[in-house]
Structure 1
């Protein structure tokens, strides 16, 4: 389905709501929320059964959401299983649904999300704000480095966002492989590149052997990275920008709500909340469930309520995405607070009582290049998420690293992790090329043994 293009509000912002005064944005958000809960009360059997039409109708503003229960991922799985194809939480007439997207389904069957024509436009508007903040502009051409298959939101929905923005997408997709992507980049010279951060880094590293020139000579001006934590980590960003000779900015989304809806601007210090008119984003303490004020330095889990959504609307949906707030003001003029995603709450490990996100260990490994390649895996030899022993970490050393330097590298790694994260790890060094490289399927940093 071709998407009717839209135009940006200004050279700085895709939509004027991005720079609205907080009080004005809140008024719009409260109004849209009242409209959305009224829609749920009338059309959603799922939320009438879970919350009740009267309780839904009592929601008058964002503060009232705190009195309502969360929507958990397992509830959606149960709903889909009980009432296929789209579950009890579908709230639009089947005749209105024109597209169905699927999650990765790493824990069983995928989650399926229905979209009406209006929902697709909302997804495109959300995505346009994020990619515009990342530096993508109408008239540009973009090489598509996310996976195009399996119904993932990084595929067709990204194509639709590009069409909506007036960007020419070249939908090769990560499944086509490194050689195909690099050949297309060398032939077509698109200015934009989109994909997961570690795959785009690997793509650049292969450029000299595949097309005979460094990636920085292939014409990329701006990159948008997402799909996994790490794109905003200094070591990851600096490596990407050095390899490609282009800016690298982070974005964040999720299948159940939309393709992408947080976007990092030129300040490059966190992803802005861009769409108070189209969604509510709450920050909560993952243990207590209590709200956390999104002030600089605050941490918590993101919870979303979709606004202006018809087919698969969600209310207070727990994403398990764990973020840190990096700021509440920005020179770019956007007024939404900024976050950096540090991992998923349910991916977090606990080592002798200390919380550790795998992405934090990965960041330290990346800082040890060129002695290490940057590839690592945590080999979890324990049940659950908690251990009292040092955390086993497998790290690739560079092919040219002399054997007598191995012990030094191992000790440096263990010391840096202990200093930065306050946990002990036990490093096993393996030769370059041992660990699986990223492709269209995200590589898990934790392997169970």
Structure 2
């Protein structure tokens, strides 16, 4: 029996010829540049300081002559003109929704949306969730945080509603018990949430509800918000424990909730929003453009198109990706990617660039020798150290302290062979680290935990 034909995308824009998409992007970019010059104090100042004439953009390649916008510059803009910053480009009266980042470096970063922006966010998110398998009429268990203004809350609900699916808005903040009871009672076809949290839910489902996760009727898991969805060992664990397919999405508070999403082929996350966001790939060291082609790597840079309230121009996302496909199932013409790390997370250990997610990939694949949970202990200033890489790794559920030295040596060898860095591994009891919940899992610790707790 042959496999069913791939579903067409949610929007025709996702399967338009790429040359036509780029022609539309150029037209929208020129309109956005004129809008910034008229409405954004932040970009008015930048254009003046850089000697940039917004009407001089004649091709997409001309973007390379415009300076990048960084996260630090946006933070300074927000501090200079609270609440939405100097880059607010719509009147207060036109703002209908405000979202917030997680605020891991202090006060959250707030992003405004007009009615048009709100519609665009819902449309992009719907396209992504549809690519991942959510269909009209599906019951969707909401396992992202529903609180604190995070984009995994209300914006995900808006995308689910736009598809015509039914959201069960329990949220990670509602607690493990309540989520699993809702899964048992409602038998949702889809569950959305962070990968580590959904994996934890599956492991405790039988204990808390008397029903294994594989018997809850879930067919699709949609994960995002943290590393894990693209890590083979974690993905395999999710699919095995739930008996469902796992597909990954990616977005960000500054541009939208979801604008990259996996389809049936599970090759990577396809770009679903080329009419609302212009995505560039650059060399993270030189800042020079990198051509979109399968196998290329680089950092993603975004320019908002058709954005009114909080538009950004050539925003450096810090997301480091590899291009996994150029076009895909259902006639998709956009590129697909996997994200393998973030600039903010990158450590330089004895001259070797290292992403904690790469270490997690290795440790997760070593189950059942270890529990699969680990943290990098970066107890030094900044992001560079001449010391060995310090790792804390949970024992396997039946692990014995007397075996720690032998197990640690195996982890150290695997890390050295894969990443070319020497590691110092300390085994901790199984369940030492807090179970995943509403907050994203942080793979890096800046100071040693209390080992006696």
Partner of 2:397: 399
1:107 corresponds to which residue? 105
Are 1:178 and 2:176 counterparts? yes
Q: 1:197–1:226: 8 Å Cα contact kept in structure 2?
A: yes
| CA offsets 1:269-319 (integer angstroms, 9 cap, x no match) | 111112221110111111211111122222211110011110111111111
Q: Deviations over 1:31-90 (max 9, x none)?
A: 111111121122112111111496212123321111101111122111111112211111
2:281–2:290 Cα contact (<8 Å) kept? yes
Secondary structure of 1:291's partner?
coil
Deviation at 1:12, TM superposition (A): 1.7
CA RMSD between the two structures: 1.4
Q: How does 1:238-257 map to 2 (within 5 A)?
A: 238-257=236-255
**In 2, are the aligned partners of 1:241 and 1:247 still within 8 Å (CA)?**
yes
Separation in structure 1 between the aligned mates of residue 185 and residue 282 of structure 2, nearest angstrom: 47
Query: 5 Å matches for 1:292-331?
Result: 292-331=290-329
What residue number does 1:281 align with? 279
The aligned residue for residue 153 of structure 2 is: 155
Aligned to 1:441: 439
Cα distance per residue 1:196-245 (max 9 Å; x no partner): 10010001111011011210111111011000122111111110000101
CA contact (8 A) 2:327 2:335 kept: yes
Secondary structure of residue in 1 paired with 2:333: coil
Gap regions ≥5 residues in structure 2: 1-5, 448-453
Shift of 1:404: 4.9
In the other structure, the counterpart of 1:34 is 30
Between 248-257 and 12-21, report the one with greater CA deviation. Answer: 12-21
Residue 198 (structure 2) aligns with: 200
* Structure 1 position 191, deviation (Å): 0.7
Gap change, CA 1:87 and 1:404, over 3 Å in 2:
closer
Q: Secondary structure at the match of 2:328?
A: coil
Matches within 5 A, 1:342-361: 342-361=340-359
Cα shift readout 1:344-381 (whole Å, capped 9, x = no counterpart): 11211112211111001001111111221111111113
Distance 2:71 2:180 in 1: 37
1:105-158 CA distance string (max 9 Å, x none): 111111111101110110011111111111111111111101011111111111
- Contact 2:264 2:329 (8 Å CA) reproduced: no
| Residue from 15, 21, 37 that aligns with 1:19 | 15
Tell me the residue number matched to 2:256: 258
Contact 1:189 1:220 in 2 (8 A): yes
Q: Which residue, 127, 133, 136 being the options, matches 2:134?
A: 136
Uncovered stretches (5+) of structure 1, i.e. residues with no partner: 1-9
8 Å contact from structure 2 (residues 300, 319) kept in 1 = yes
SS at match of 1:51: helix
- Normalised TM-score (structure 2): 0.94
Q: Aligned partners of 1:83 and 1:25: how far apart in 2? A: 35
Q: Distance in 2 between matches of 1:401 and 1:93?
A: 60
Shift of 1:403: 4.5
3-state SS of the aligned residue for 1:335?
Answer: strand
Alignment check: 8 A CA contact 1:267 1:332 kept: no
2:377 matched residue in structure 1: 379
User: SS where residue 315 of structure 1 aligns?
Assistant: coil
The residue aligned with 1:123 is 121
1:47 aligns with 2:47: no
- The answer to whether structure 1 residue 188 and structure 2 residue 198 are counterparts is no
